[in-house]
Chain A
Amino acid sequence: MIWNTMQLALREIRFNLMRSILTALGIIIGVAAVIVIVTLGGGATARVTSDISSLGRNLIIVVPGKRGPSGREQGTPFELQDANAILEEVDGVAGVAPTATKSITVIYGNESWSTSIHGTNNGYMGVREWALAAGRAFTRGEERSGRAVCVIGETIRRELFGFQNPIGATIRADNIPCEVIGLLEPKGTATFGTDQDDLVVTPLRTFQRRISGNRDISMIFVSAAAAEMTTKVQNDIQTLLRQRRGIRDNEQEDFEVENLQEITKVVESTTGVLTALLSAVAMVSLIVGGIGIMNIMLVSVTERTREIGIRLAIGALERDVLLQFLVEAMMLSLAGGIAGILFGLFVSFWLSEALNLPFILNVPIVLIAVVFSAFVGIVFGFFPARRAARLNPIDALRYE
């Protein structure tokens, strides 16, 4: 019985193919919109989260200056002693990398490249969870003596060396000859658009002596020993640095301690809220699609009044007619839903590629879309179907 009803509905849909497609279009667009929004939202969240964690897990960044309404205000730079104090006095610190940065031009042979140089210590690689692809890190001796050695990022290797082996070569960084001893593994471009591999790392002492000529530390990277400890470590660093910089209790500090886990959470909840909001808007279009189905089913019932009369005369019961129209409405919206899913997945796959986001298939939302579109068919098909089923057979038979 149900099989026959489905065949009948299919035939009816096929016969009015153009009308059926236009009717289903509302559902197709609604479902596709939901799928695209949720998939892209999920991809964006995953991308941002992985970018942030690629900076280093449990990472805490300490920077001078305070973020104000008109951008970051300058603050007094840190000193090496601040970093040492953090390592010694704060519990739960796994590593500290005091870092100073400067924009420079590096030259090798005929190639030159504008980049930034980071003066830091060996802890930098550990704190930022950055492994070496080739070569070695700095030795204690090199760090202490300030030898002109450097570790370069993947972008520098590509731009200066091409297919040559960079290890052992000497590049010129702002006219300072510097031996390349290591190559960092590529990390890729961050969401914020910065190329993380575009850098040269050199021992802090080398940087201070030969490149900057001062003892300023512009950034301190700290890694907590465990994820649960990051908040406590963050607070302790805040307290310690306030003391060291002589900031009174009622004064704002002129530095910032940023916890990447917190940033990740904020980003995740923001994209989550945004996705939910946009999905709600897309849902509205699904309801509009459902009304389209109801409209066309009402037209169909009127057109087929005589047919309904014949069916009632040759043995159909009220529920048979009800079922027939319900199944037809449901198949229409379900077909729309499935087409919408395929279309939505196609579009989100394509957009993910274009926007360089990971394509994450959200299976629950696909299932929800299927169930919801069938549900739309039942809800909006019920009224026209009941109207058909309640027709008086003699009136229906006489209908011209």
Chain B
Amino acid sequence: MALISLRNITKVYGQGDAQVIALDNIHMTISDGEFVAVMGPSGSGKSTCMNILGCLDTPTSGSYRFQDMEVTTLDQNQRALLRRNFLGFVFQGYNLLKRTTARENLELPLVYRGVPAKERHERADHVLELVGLEDRGHHTSAELSGGQQQRVAIARAIITSPLLLLADEPTGNLDSQRSLEIMNLLARLNEEQGITIVMVTHEADMAEFAKRVITFRDGHIAQDTAEAEAVAP
């Protein structure tokens, strides 16, 4: 079943002469359980596409269906509810809250969902174990290394059991060893938990972990391995 379906998505920034077309009439379908890497040079529109997928930004025109829901007609609050209920985010800069322990960071999405304290603690224990940081729960972000921070960020994204995990260059700030750890973690989550992952990356090595690679160029989709396979005999 198609989890995500983009049809004729266009995103234009600015007005008049300063107008920039970030996405030009994009079509994309992503099914449940896929692990998709989105590649392309900077300015190719891949981040814009991610933001639209994550309901953080709205397209100028086109249709975006999440499951059976038309997202483009939702208001800001409905989009926030959609993020709350179905999406998880991992950012390049980790985006953990300052002066807050790993555990508190993890529990925050659950706090917003009104999950009682006891269940929050249990689920935090569970995801900390999943990302291998059982003993780091009480450290603040400043006390964690970059790799550890990113693992906390991933744990925070999956603690709500989202349908879709959006990762924007999750290994962008990490050395190759840490990057591999993170990618293995994401691949495992995709395999074992069945979480659909869409990940933006610059690096071809990282894209190899994904089952499907979509390459953007100048606001168009230049290549999609899924379509290539379909076309190939």
Q: Is A313 a contact of B114 with CB atoms below 8 Å?
A: no
Q: Interface digits, B54-85 against A, CB 8 Å rule (1 contact, 0 not)? A: 10110000000000000000001100110110
Interface status of B188 (Cβ within 8 A of chain A) = no
Residues of A within 8 A of B109 (CB): 314-315
Q: How far is the CA of A315 from the CA of B54 in the complex (A)?
A: 12
Q: Interface digits, A365-396 against B, CB 8 Å rule (1 contact, 0 not)? A: 00000000000000000000000000011100
Please tell me the size bucket of the interface on A.
Answer: 20 to 34
Q: Number of B residues whose C-beta is below 8 Å from A?
A: 27
Q: Is A318 a contact of B95 with CB atoms below 8 Å?
A: no
Q: Would you give the shortest CB distance from B34 to chain A, in whole angstroms? A: 22
Please, could you name 11 A-B residue pairs with CB atoms under 8 Å apart, sorted by A?
Answer: A306-B95, A311-B112, A314-B108, A314-B109, A314-B157, A315-B113, A315-B160, A317-B77, A317-B81, A318-B77, A394-B56
Interface status of B118 (Cβ within 8 A of chain A) = no
Q: Is A313 a contact of B54 with CB atoms below 8 Å?
A: yes
Interface status of B35 (Cβ within 8 A of chain A) = no
The 5 closest A-B pairs by CB, nearest first: A315-B84, A315-B112, A394-B56, A394-B57, A315-B109
Instruction: Name B residues whose Cβ lies closer than 8 Å to a Cβ of A.
Output: 51, 54, 56-57, 76-77, 80-81, 83-84, 88-89, 91, 95-99, 108-109, 111-114, 156-157, 160
Besides the contacts A315-B112, A315-B113, A318-B77, what 14 more A-B pairs have beta carbons closer than 8 Å?
A4-B111, A11-B99, A306-B95, A310-B95, A311-B112, A312-B56, A314-B108, A314-B156, A315-B80, A315-B108, A315-B109, A316-B84, A317-B84, A318-B76
Q: How far is the CA of A318 from the CA of B78 in the complex (A)?
A: 10
Q: Is A313 a contact of B56 with CB atoms below 8 Å?
A: yes
Closest to A14 in B: B99
Closest to A310 in B: B95
Q: Is A393 a contact of B56 with CB atoms below 8 Å?
A: yes
Interface status of A360 (Cβ within 8 A of chain B) = no
Instruction: Name A residues whose Cβ lies closer than 8 Å to a Cβ of B.
Output: 1, 4, 11, 15, 306-307, 309-318, 320, 392-394, 397
Q: Would you give the shortest CB distance from B173 to chain A, in whole angstroms? A: 15
Residues of A within 8 A of B76 (CB): 318
Q: Would you give the shortest CB distance from B184 to chain A, in whole angstroms? A: 23
Listed residue (A11, A309, A315, A320) with the most chain B CB atoms within 10 angstroms of its CB: A315
Q: How far is the CA of A186 from the CA of B228 in the complex (A)?
A: 110
Q: Is B56 a contact of A320 with CB atoms below 8 Å?
A: no
Quick one: which of A307, A309, A316 contacts B112, CB cutoff 8 A?
Answer: A316
Q: Is A317 a contact of B112 with CB atoms below 8 Å?
A: yes
Q: Is B80 a contact of A15 with CB atoms below 8 Å?
A: no
Residues of A within 8 A of B97 (CB): 307, 310
Q: Is B112 a contact of A320 with CB atoms below 8 Å?
A: yes
Listed residue (A307, A311, A318, A394) with the most chain B CB atoms within 10 angstroms of its CB: A394
Q: How far is the CA of A317 from the CA of B157 in the complex (A)?
A: 16
Q: How far is the CA of A238 from the CA of B46 in the complex (A)?
A: 101
